[in-house]
Every structure is written in C-alpha cells, then in structure tokens.
Structure 1
Amino acid sequence: MEAEVTMIKRFISYYKPHRLLFFIDMGVALLASLLAILMPAMVRTLLNTYIPEKNIHAIITSFLIMALIYLVKMVFEFIRMKWGHILGVRMEYDMREDIFRHIQKLSFNYFDNTKTGHIMSRISNDLNTIAEVAHHAPEDLILSLFLVIGSFFFMFRFNAVLAVIAFIPLPFMLLWGIKYGGKMRQGFRRVRRKIADINSAVENSVQGIREVKSYANEDLEIEKFEHVNIHFKTAKEKMYTIMGIFYSGFHFLADMYYLMVIAGGAWLYLEGRITPSDIVAFILYVNIILNPIQRLMNFTEQFNQGAASFERFTEIMDIEPDIEDRPHARTFRPVRGRIDVEHVWFKYSSSPHWVLQDIHFSVPEGKSVAIVGESGAGKSTIVSLIP
C-alpha cells in the first residue's frame, strides 16, 4: 500500500508544471456536468407544469434554454478534448525527457543485462499509455463523483423512496469493478511485458539480419519469434477474457438498474405517490448516473493500464548508476592534459576470468593513440573504462 501511495505521489508531481491546464480541463468538465444535471429537472418542470398548462411561451423558452445549454456544452467539450489531451502530451514529453536523461547516466552493466527492445517499449508504448491516463483518469474520477452526487441530490428532492431504490444497485456495480480491476491490472502488466519481449525479439533479429542471412539462420529466428509471439497472444487472450467478464457483468447490472427504477416507479405510481413526469426524470437521471459509472469502469481499466506502465517507468528511474558523482561535484570543461592508465585489471561479474590484466599506457595531451588487437582482445572494454 505504501509503495502504491509513493507511486501516485510521483505521478502527481508531473502535473505541477501544468497546473493551469489541469484546472482549465477540470473546470470546464465540471461546468459541463452541472449543465447535464440540470436537464432532467428542466424536463420534469416542462412535463409537470408548462405542458399541462399549455403555456406556449414557457415551453418555447424552455426549449431555447435547453438548446443554449447544449451549445455551451459543445464549447466546453471542445476545450476539454483539446487542452485535456495537450495536458497528457506535455506530461508525456516531461517523462520521456526524464527517462532518456536518466538512461544516459546508467552504467554499461545495465545495457549489458537489458534488451534494447525493453528500453524502447518503456520510452514509447508505456509513456503513450501514461499520457492517456494523465488526461482521462482524474477527469473520469472527479466528474463521475460529481455527476452521481448531483443526480442523487435532485432524485431525493423529487422522491426519496425511488431514490433509495435507485441507490441499491450502485454498491454492487462498484464492487464488481473493484473485484475485476485488480485482475485487469495484472493482465495489463503481463501484456506490457510481452510487448517488450516482442520489441526486443524484432530489434535483435533486424539488427543482426546480415549474420542471420549469412548463416542461413532464418528458420531459427522465425522459431524464436514464434515462441515470443505465442506468449504475447496467450497473455492478450487471458486479458480479454477478464475484460469480457468485467464488461458483460457490468452491462447486466446496468440493465437491471433500469429495470429496478422502472419497477419501483410503477409501484409508487399505482399507490399515487409519484407522477409520470417524476418517473421520466428518474429514468433520465439513471442514464446520467450510468455514464459516470461507466466512466469509473473505464477509469479502472485506464488506471490499471497506466499503473502497469508507470511501474515500468519507475523501474528504470529507480536504477542507480554504478558510478555517481559526489554531491556538489565540480564540472571541468574543457578538460586538458595527459591520460594515464595504470595497472588496470577488469573482469565481468558473470565470469571468473580477467578480461584485462595489469594494463597501463599514457596518451599525451593533443595526441591520438590507436588501440589495436584481435577480436575479443578487450579494445572496447579499455575505451569504456575511460570516463
């Protein structure tokens, strides 16, 4: 739990440079939601009062106000879609800058033990997913709560008994989302790992295509890729099985939600405790409530995808270089002088044999030195050891 809280705090820190965009996005979204909540109440007034009284002026005025509301909502939707996505893009830009700068600081040991395809997957696919979550997740969460609370405020004002009936299915729908949310998160995490394996397999094969063709090794490469591809296919099939159960169950609960409200409204109408216009308003509010519930379900899916991607992002960001500068270390630019390599020994952690043994040489200032030798003699290793 503590690790998840820390991860969320790190994610929120990327919003800070873009606070203005975030508040614009949330502000117009909340205003659009407020207008949506007012619509069923206006329809109820129209059916209860203006139409029975045949008040043509009030009816026309109501329709004009509704049309104006829809026009304003359209403007708000444009602002939300444009600047909300720009918010996500700018956060993605910041994260990509951070991870690329961090990768430049990592030691050779990291690149020796990490496939290039895995690194590429984190820089491209994972950050693209995080950008979508950065825009949609907080918006879906905040707006959903606002729409549900606002709708029930009016529903309890119109008829408390039917409002209680309308509230009963909600906990079951939320529990359903929570139950399968964790399973989807695990599924998305597996798929992300398999995507990285796919990228790595393709990158390695294409990078060494000359050697593959020279040794007529195409069949072996195809077999290796097929093995990785099968695991990717299996992971996605399992994930979509979980998603199928999740969404089919949710839609069943949503259909039962409508049925309960209509049945409850019919019962109250037969007892003379509710008017037909109230039932219409309740059905409209149920439709409004189901939209944020669907948003919460989407939030669960998006959050799980984003959490899996952000975990992979932080995995790299948390890797410390083997060699780090001291705090407040001085930077010397340009550096001039002679390079001395004295009695250097080196071996890899995976091998007991020394690659370099008691190496020493000097490079005078302003001179170039060629390091020559047979393949595998350690030329690249020597150069890599020079800071």
Structure 2
Amino acid sequence: MKQKTDFQTFISYFKPHRRLFFLDLACALMISLIDLAFPFVSRWCMYTLLPNSIYKTFWMVMIIFLLAYLVRSFFTYIICYYGHTFGILVEADMRKDLFEHMQSLSYGYFDNNRIGQLMSRLTTDLFDITELAHHGPEDLFISTVTIIGSIIIMFTIEWRLALVIAIMIPVFILVVWKSRHSMSEASIRVKQKVAVINTDIESGLTGMKTAKAFANETIEQQKFNTSNDTYKISKKQFHKAMGRFNAIMEFFMCTLSLIVIAVGGALIMQGKMDTIDLITFSLYVSTFVNPVRKLSNFAELFANGTAGLHRFVELLNTKPQLEDRPDAKELTNVSGQIDIDHVSFAYEEDRNILTDIDLHIHPG
C-alpha cells in the first residue's frame, strides 16, 4: 500500500465492480442530457411552434418529454439501487481487507489502541468512504456535464448574458475549494473524537458490572460526559464550517438568478434580447440549482470520505512488529517437543514481557 497514494488505493477497489460504476455514470449522463434538452426545446416551441400555430407538433413534443421524464425516473431508480449496491460492495471489500490486516498486527498494536477506536475504523469511517465512492463521482459527473452543457447552450442564445454567468462559475468553484479544506480538517477531528467516544462507551459497558459492584457509577458518568462534551464541540465546529459553506452557496444561487434577470432586463431594454430568451436563461438557471447543490453535497462527502480514507490507508500501512523473514520455512513434522532457551521479549524497548526464559516441555 505504501507505493500507492490514498486516491490510488481508493480507486483500486472500484475495479472488481467497474460495470456497476459505469452503469451508474451512464444513467447519470442520460439524466443530465434530458435536463439540458428541456429548456432548449421549450425555447424552440415558443419561437416556432406556438407563434405559427403548429399545435399538433407542440403536443407531440410535450408527450415525448413526458416519456423522457418516465425514462429519467427509471434511470434515477438504477442510480439509487445499483449505485448504492456498488458502494456497499466497495465498503465490504475494504472492511474485509482491513479486518484481515488487523489480524496480522502484533499484540502490541492492540495494547496501544482501544477496541472502540478500531471499531470506528471498521464502521463509521468506511460508511463515509462508501458514500464518497457512490455519490462522489456521480454528483461530480452530473454537475460538470450539466453546468458545462448549460453554458455552451446559453452562449449560442445570448453570449453577453452567458459570459456573465460563466465568469461567476469559477468564483463559486473557488469558494467550494476553500470551504472544502476547512470542512476536511473539521471532519478529521470529528472522526478522532468518534473513535474516543466509542472507546469510552465500549469500556464503560464492558465494565458496567464492576463499576456497579464498587459503586463507581458517578466516576464512570463523569468520564463519559468528558468524552461526550469533546465530541459535541468537534461536531459543532464541523457544522459551523458546513454552515458557512451553505450560506455562501445559497447567496451565490440567489445572486445568480438576480444577475440573470438584471442583465437580461438591461439587454431587453436595449433591444438586444427578447423575453423568450430570458425565460430560457431562467430555465437554465433553475437547471443549475441541482448541480450546484450536488457540488455542495460533494464538498461535504469529499471532506468526510477523504478523512475516513486517510485513516483507512494509515491503518493498512501499519506493519506488524513481528514478521516472518523472506526465507522463513514452514514448520513440518512436529513431534510436540518445545524448547525455549534464554528467550527475552518486549512489545517495545521499555516494556519487557519476558526476560531470559528457559522452558522445556516434552511431547504429551
């Protein structure tokens, strides 16, 4: 694993299930194309069919789009079901490898890491990675296709208004990138505190009988309250970063609609644009809403998922303290005789477990 980056490790789990992954992206592409087509065809209907009283063709177009939206709903079903199935399969493979690696680690690792912390790596962290595996590429793909497609079509309608919108998009992407960094850091802190509170819960529940026997319930409650408050603070910091991001995004969305109406109105006053084109632009701005919200969700998914992925790879890169030599030979023809001559052993240099032990056990 050390030869791979976190991203390369993540992508390697896609390969066994790549058919489901590409099916998910193909359906996402079809949904984007249907969403892009509606405002463009609506503009054609308002310019050509309705003014020329070609009503039969108009109703045929409406029926075709009704069927297209039925097909779109089917694609949505495939994305929801098979897309999540893909994420589940990736999660199961990662959990299998992680548990298998845990079994190869030395005793010393489990002395220094509590069970609750390891549980969070096998459950909470992997859930966030799964959400990133499914929704991340899908949301990013849909958003990219829809936004770029919308911009291209709008340039063919009225390049001046399209240019204003095109200038605003990079500004929004920059805001997303800046906010993602702060959310990622906050997410890592939350995951660390989740591991701590899981550890305290595991310790408190397994030792509940002992605590009750010695009337230590108050002390155990105080210990739990301390870790619970720490988790609460870190979670509030994450949602503070997320709230800042969402507030900026909502401001951008409202401002975009305002600018389209304002600039479009100015062009209409100058006779450089008509009302039908402005309606078409408004429809495309509405089409922007879902992709932009998907980018918002992607920023949160990316923050949580990469934090979990970093912890996943970090654990996979942890080497056992005791490993077989490359030329190690398998023990065969065992008779049952055990001889230990002057053996010393320690998990760490300053924590001796056995010192100069002699032991001889005869067969049987």
Secondary structure, counterpart of 2:255 in structure 1: helix
**Larger relative CO (CA 8 A, sep 6+): 1 or 2?**
2
Secondary structure, counterpart of 2:134 in structure 1: helix
Q: Is the 8 A contact 2:31 2:75 kept in 1?
A: yes
The 5 A counterparts of 1:351-370 are 351=350, 355-365=353-363, 367=364
Tell me how far apart the structure 2 counterparts of residues 168 and 8 of structure 1 sit (CA, whole Å). Answer: 30
The residue aligned with 1:216 is 215
Tell me how far apart the structure 2 counterparts of residues 59 and 335 of structure 1 sit (CA, whole Å). Answer: 87
Tell me how far apart the structure 2 counterparts of residues 355 and 323 of structure 1 sit (CA, whole Å). Answer: 15
1:184 aligns with 2:183: yes
The residue aligned with 1:101 is 100
Tell me how far apart the structure 2 counterparts of residues 279 and 202 of structure 1 sit (CA, whole Å). Answer: 59
Q: Is the 8 A contact 2:176 2:296 kept in 1?
A: yes
Point out the more displaced range, 18-27 or 355-364.
Answer: 355-364
Secondary structure, counterpart of 1:359 in structure 2: strand
Secondary structure, counterpart of 2:342 in structure 1: strand
Cα distance change, pair 348–137 in 1 and its aligned pair in 2 (3 A)? closer
Task: Return the letter of the residue paired with 1:267.
Answer: A
Task: Return the letter of the residue paired with 2:357.
Answer: I
Tell me how far apart the structure 1 counterparts of residues 347 and 22 of structure 2 sit (CA, whole Å). Answer: 52
The residue aligned with 2:231 is 232
The residue aligned with 1:371 is none
After TM superposition, give the deviation of residue 339 of structure 1 in Å: 1.9
The residue aligned with 2:11 is 12
Task: Return the letter of the residue paired with 1:364.
Answer: H
The residue aligned with 1:86 is 85
The 5 A counterparts of 1:54-69 are 54-69=53-68
Cα distance change, pair 156–334 in 1 and its aligned pair in 2 (3 A)? farther
Deviations 1:328-358 (A, max 9, x none): 7554578553222222233453746x54343
Point out the more displaced range, 354-363 or 71-80.
Answer: 354-363
The residue aligned with 1:138 is 137
After TM superposition, give the deviation of residue 327 of structure 1 in Å: 3.6
After TM superposition, give the deviation of residue 216 of structure 1 in Å: 1.3
After TM superposition, give the deviation of residue 242 of structure 1 in Å: 1.4
Cα distance change, pair 201–332 in 1 and its aligned pair in 2 (3 A)? same
Tell me how far apart the structure 1 counterparts of residues 166 and 353 of structure 2 sit (CA, whole Å). Answer: 71
Q: Percent identity?
A: 38
Task: Return the letter of the residue paired with 2:49.
Answer: Y
Task: Return the letter of the residue paired with 2:358.
Answer: H
The residue aligned with 2:198 is 199
Tell me how far apart the structure 1 counterparts of residues 183 and 167 of structure 2 sit (CA, whole Å). Answer: 26
Tell me how far apart the structure 2 counterparts of residues 171 and 334 of structure 1 sit (CA, whole Å). Answer: 70
1:310 aligns with 2:306: no
Tell me how far apart the structure 1 counterparts of residues 178 and 347 of structure 2 sit (CA, whole Å). Answer: 46
Deviations 1:103-123 (A, max 9, x none): 000000100000111000000
1:28 aligns with 2:20: no
Cα distance change, pair 319–65 in 1 and its aligned pair in 2 (3 A)? same
Tell me how far apart the structure 2 counterparts of residues 264 and 243 of structure 1 sit (CA, whole Å). Answer: 31
Cα distance change, pair 348–9 in 1 and its aligned pair in 2 (3 A)? closer
Secondary structure, counterpart of 1:268 in structure 2: helix
Task: Return the letter of the residue paired with 1:362.
Answer: H
Deviations 1:233-274 (A, max 9, x none): 111111111111110111011100000001111111122222
C-alpha RMSD of the superposition:
1.9
The residue aligned with 2:264 is 265
After TM superposition, give the deviation of residue 212 of structure 1 in Å: 1.2
After TM superposition, give the deviation of residue 276 of structure 1 in Å: 1.4
Tell me how far apart the structure 2 counterparts of residues 72 and 334 of structure 1 sit (CA, whole Å). Answer: 67
Tell me how far apart the structure 2 counterparts of residues 247 and 290 of structure 1 sit (CA, whole Å). Answer: 13
Point out the more displaced range, 213-222 or 227-236.
Answer: 213-222
Tell me how far apart the structure 1 counterparts of residues 335 and 110 of structure 2 sit (CA, whole Å). Answer: 29
Q: Structure 1: which 5+ runs fail to align?
A: 368-387
After TM superposition, give the deviation of residue 361 of structure 1 in Å: 2.1
Q: Structure 2: which 5+ runs fail to align?
A: none
Tell me how far apart the structure 2 counterparts of residues 154 and 292 of structure 1 sit (CA, whole Å). Answer: 16
Task: Return the letter of the residue paired with 2:322.
Answer: I
Secondary structure, counterpart of 2:79 in structure 1: helix
After TM superposition, give the deviation of residue 186 of structure 1 in Å: 0.7
The 5 A counterparts of 1:218-297 are 218-297=217-296
Secondary structure, counterpart of 1:272 in structure 2: coil
Corresponding pairs, count: 363
Secondary structure, counterpart of 2:5 in structure 1: helix
Cα distance change, pair 329–31 in 1 and its aligned pair in 2 (3 A)? farther
The residue aligned with 1:300 is 299
1:44 aligns with 2:78: no
Secondary structure, counterpart of 1:342 in structure 2: strand
Q: Normalising to structure 2: TM-score of the pair?
A: 0.95
Point out the more displaced range, 114-123 or 295-304.
Answer: 295-304
Point out the more displaced range, 295-304 or 108-117.
Answer: 295-304
Deviations 1:310-336 (A, max 9, x none): 111111101000111234755457855
After TM superposition, give the deviation of residue 34 of structure 1 in Å: 0.9
Tell me how far apart the structure 1 counterparts of residues 134 and 211 of structure 2 sit (CA, whole Å). Answer: 44
Task: Return the letter of the residue paired with 2:107.
Answer: F
